Amino acid sequence: MTMRTIVRFGDPVLVTPTAPVTRFDQHTENLVQDLLETVDAPGRAGLAATQIGVGLRVFSYNVHGRIGYVINPEIAELSEELQDCDEGCLSVPDLWYPTKRAQHTTVTGVDLRNEPITVKGTGLMAQCLQHETDHLDGILYIDRLEPADRKRALRAIRRSDWFLPAEQAARQN
């Protein structure tokens, strides 16, 4: 399988809700393997299919030695207890902002055999499950920031050396 390139902020795939996986075949297995291999690098906690340019409802995670994936994930439970955590994103590199997330989260979905699975998490794992599910719904973590932090984040993105507005990116292709 392959370590895939990460899609960056500004690409429409990141804000487009994903389609559910309906075929459980070699293509799906390859996608899951690519997600697992790509997330298995230092500093990476999770990776949604959209972040590698694929509009299907799949993500992988790698939190405290716990590595896995969920196909067609849905948030089944969010605790009322919240955590304030600094959050970043591979698709919005080098920017971290305080983000409120549920302290405990349960996600349900299926595996490669289309068998039901449940993943529960607390702390960083809960944050990861929520963050990656958001990606699959077309939501970026910066969409959840307090207004002043969101404004600072968008300003920092525009000033970053990795961001190309859509018009510039189209001209380079």
| Dihedral over alpha carbons 67, 11, 30, 2 (to 10 degrees) | -80
Q: Give the side-chain half-sphere CA count within 13 A for 172.
A: 6
- Decide if 77 is catalytic: no
Catalytic residue among 29, 37, 132, 167: 132
Between CA 5 and CA 48 the distance in angstroms is 12
By the 10 Å C-beta count (0-12 exposed, 13-18 middle, 19+ buried), 163 is classed as middle
3-state helix, strand, coil in the chain (%, to 5): 35, 35, 35
Between CA 94 and CA 161 the distance in angstroms is 11
Active site residues: 132
